[in-house]
Amino acid sequence: MHNADFMALLPLMVLSAACAAVMLLIAARRHHGLTLVLTLAGLAATLAVMPEAGRWMPIRITALLTLDTFALFFIALIVLATMATALLGYAYFDAWGGHREEFYLLLLIAALGACVLSMSRHFAAFFIGLEILSIALYALIAYPRRRAASVEAGIKYLVLAAGSAGFLLFGMALLYADRGTLDFSALAAGLSTPGQDRPLLLLAGLALLMVGVGFKLALVPFHMWTADVYQGAPAPVTAFVATASKSAMVALLVRLLAPLDFNTAPELFDILAALAAASMVGGNLLALRQQSVKRILAYSSIAHLGYVLVAILAAGPAFVPAVMFYMAAYTLAQLGSFGVIAMHSTAETEADSLERFRGLFHQRPWMAAVLTAMLLSLAGIPLTAGFIGKFYVILAGTQGRLWWLIITLVLTSGIGLFYYLRIIVTLFSPAQAPRTTPTAAGPAAFSGAAVLTVTTILLVWLGALPESLVRLLQHVTP
Amino acid sequence: MNALFYIAAAVAVLATLMVVTRAHAVHALLYLIVSLLAVALIFYLLGAPFAAALEVIVYAGAIMVLFVFVVMMLNLGAHSVQAQRQWLRPAMWIGPSILAAVLLAELIYVLAGSPAPAAVPVTVGPRAVGLALFGPYVLAVELASIMLLAGLVGAYHLARPETCGPTEGAA
């Protein structure tokens, strides 16, 4: 490794150093606020060294990782989402009796795993990054370990993620057996020859690989875990699973598929198109009758990943910026929605059912307004980031001439509008009885409110004036 | 050569099936050890003697001993001697023993100077493994340490006994 390699690795190194620092702080002195401050400082330092690392890109760091604008964008997105999660976690765990400090340590480790995923261009790095992320998430999901629902969600995630990792490993082994290398470029090279003489090992490996990726992205039919895990996990962790973990996996999928020409790999196109259509239809239909806000958002996230897959399949000139913009808009909206849920929950009682939010507007108008904005963005209403994101995805889809997928996207978005509006109607309908809301006080309330304010401002800003981000993303290639 | 591989693979699959279907933890563990030994033999046949040795030392040796210890400690009590006598009835150990004997016979056959494995182009020794691990894959080694940290912290948090009551952790 050379000097440039170390400079390009700075974000990962600072993040690892932050993990070590937080661990040592916990060993020396347990203090909730101090741990949060150190965690945020570590994440801010990671953001601060990114321009310095950016001066060396594009660069390939050993055989495993790569740093380019694409990776840098997703690292920034993941680090910002982690910051928001940490702040939401502070309010959420403030009054909790157990050890609260390890939450931040696990969160930092999970963020590191997600960053490795978005930088990896080798199956070994892919698997290790994924395992770092998953192992940290098992513990984070079951973090309030006296609450049965969380432990159940943690065990479900553990069993299913371990199973999907098995599929992934087997797929990688088959690809390696066929191509003789674990580099991502081997996949494109193997699929670039048109014709029927496609080696069976390669196709079988690819299919198994897509099972593993589909599980992580919660695409139908690998979505079984999503609703239960989203519902059982503590609300800040749900926000992290829905945003940072998904963003990292999308980044990886784009890097894996971008060098491919789908014209010479119709099998892969068919698999992914089927997954995208099933996710859009399945996710939106399953969300319709749910009574829990977290479950609705879980199913909606399945549908959103289906939309992203449409952009990935389009593979036209606008596809990379479309995916990046969509993930940014999606991350903001999910962070905000789960942020509002987290602000109404504590580690003991999760605010989850739709009834719990009835008449929120009359008690806490700002909260209701924020949640409304987030849901409108998820639904893709103009003046929110979600609208521009969806517009961009449809643009990419038309460039790729994916008419059937676009029609599915538009129709299922219409279905989606129903359940988003259903939550909004509940927010504004009269409250049946006054209830006590567990409101955090002092710095805890401030930390949550700060997250919600920033995400709302960004959401509207990106929706009203998307040029700044669009111009930034226009020339990015993975 | 291929026959040796298929026998070892069959033993591994059979033993693993038994691990999953046994109702008793100790019996499952016996089969798991056999399964790991079979995988080690497969590594050896594929030309990776160092990986085979690691598989035996680390998995079949260290990790399995830990498993067995934990299972034994969970079963402490007045009935434990009686229970252990029951676990060790011939019906229980005969299965793993037969499978292990198959592996042993294979190992002796290979070591007794049978023709060198033809399917293996190169033998990967410890030196090559070390050079790969700390050359092109050095970042993977570093990241694996972070992965272990995640497991350690998670296990510590989830398995910590609740002796301190609800006031624990108040700083």
> What's the domain count of chain A?
1
Residue A436: the pLDDT is 57
Determine the residue among B122, B149, B167 to mutate to test chain A binding: the one whose Cβ has the most chain A Cβ atoms within 10 Å: B149
Q: What is the full DSSP assignment across B77-134?
A: STTHHHHHHHHTSHHHHHHHHHHHHHHHHHHHHHHTTPPPPSS-S----HHHHHHHHT
What is the C-alpha to C-alpha distance for residues A242 and A291, in angstroms, rounded to an integer? 19
Kindly give, in sequence order, each residue whose CB lies less than 8 Å from that of residue B102, ignoring residues fewer than 6 positions away: B7, B11
**Rounded Cα distance, A242 and A337, in Å:** 11
Residue (of A388, A298, A391) closest to A338 by Cα position: A298
- Whether A213 is in a domain gets the answer yes
Q: What is the largest CA-CA distance in chain B?
A: 69
Interface list for chain A against chain B, based on CB atoms closer than 8 Å:
1, 9, 16, 19, 23, 29-32, 61-65, 97-102, 105-106, 109-110, 112-113, 116, 124-125, 128-129, 131-132, 135-136, 138-139, 142-143, 145-146, 154
| Structural domain includes residue A303 | yes
Closest CA to A90 of A368, A451, A438, A337: A451
B132 vs A104: CA distance, rounded Å: 34
Report how far residue B16's alpha carbon sits from residue B28's, in angstroms, rounded to the nearest whole number: 9
C-alpha B18/C-alpha A243 separation (Å) is 40
Average pLDDT across each block of 10 residues of chain B; the chain has 171 residues. List them in order. Answer: 87 93 83 92 89 91 84 69 71 84 88 64 84 91 95 92 51 34
Using an 8 Å CB-CB cutoff, list chain B residues near A147. none
How does DSSP assign A350-394, residue by residue?
A: ---BGGGGTTHHHH-HHHHHHHHHHHHHHHT-TTSHHHHHHHHHH
Residues of B in contact with A109 (CB under 8 A): 146, 149-150, 153
Q: How many CB atoms lie within 10 A of CB B7?
A: 17
With beta carbons less than 8 A apart as the criterion, state whether A440 and A392 touch: no
Residue/partner pairs of B138-145 with CB below 8 Å, 24 or more apart: B138/A1, B138/A62, B139/A9, B139/A61, B139/A62, B139/A64, B139/A65, B139/A125, B140/A64, B140/A124, B140/A125, B140/A128, B142/A16, B143/A116, B143/A125, B143/A128, B143/A129, B143/A132, B144/A128
Whether A478 is covered by a domain: the verdict is no
What's the pLDDT tens digit per position in A431-473? Answer: 766 555 656 667 778 888 999 999 999 999 999 998 888 888 8
How far is A332 from A80, CA to CA, in rounded Å? 10
**Shortest Cα–Cα distance, B134 to chain A (Å):** 11
Contact A191, A260 (CB under 8 A): yes
Q: Which helix (H) or strand (E) holds A59?
A: strand A59-61
The pLDDT value given to residue A172: 94
Burial A414-433 (b: 16+ CB within 10 A, else e): ebbbebbebbbebbeeeeee
Distance, CA of A372 to CA of A376 (rounded, Å): 6
Q: Look at residue B26 in the predicted model and tell me its pLDDT.
A: 79
Q: How far is CA A191 from CA A186, A269, A411, in A?
A: 9, 12, 33
pLDDT tens-digit readout, A228-248: 999 999 999 999 999 999 999
pLDDT of residue A416: 93
Structure tokens at B115: 């023709």
Using the structure block, give the residue that is written with the tokens 């067995």: B68
Contacts of A125 in chain B (CB under 8 A): 139-140, 143
pLDDT of res. A438: 58
Q: Structural domain of residue A53, as residue ranges?
A: 3-473
> Which of B138, B144, B154 has the CB atom closest to A139's CB atom?
B154
Written as tens digits, the pLDDT of chain A (478 aa) is 788 899 999 999 999 999 999 999 999 999 999 999 999 999 999 999 999 998 888 889 988 999 999 999 999 999 999 999 999 999 899 888 888 999 999 999 999 999 999 999 999 999 999 999 999 999 999 999 888 999 999 999 999 999 999 999 999 999 998 888 899 888 888 877 666 667 888 889 989 999 999 999 999 899 999 999 999 999 999 999 999 999 999 999 999 988 888 888 888 899 999 999 999 999 999 999 899 999 999 999 999 999 999 999 988 778 899 999 999 999 999 999 999 999 888 888 888 888 888 888 888 899 999 999 999 999 999 989 999 999 999 999 998 889 999 999 999 999 999 999 999 999 998 876 655 565 666 777 888 899 999 999 999 999 999 888 888 888 787 7
Q: Please give the pLDDT value at position B115.
A: 58
- The packing angle between helices A148-179 and A123-141, to 10°, is 170
Q: Please tell me the predicted confidence (pLDDT) of residue A413.
A: 93
Q: Is residue A214 part of a domain?
A: yes
Across the interface, whether the CB atoms of A128 and B149 are under 8 A apart is answered no
Give A25 to chain B, closest Cα distance, Å: 13
Judged by DSSP in three states, A65 sits in strand
Closest CA to A253 of A190, A210, A293: A210
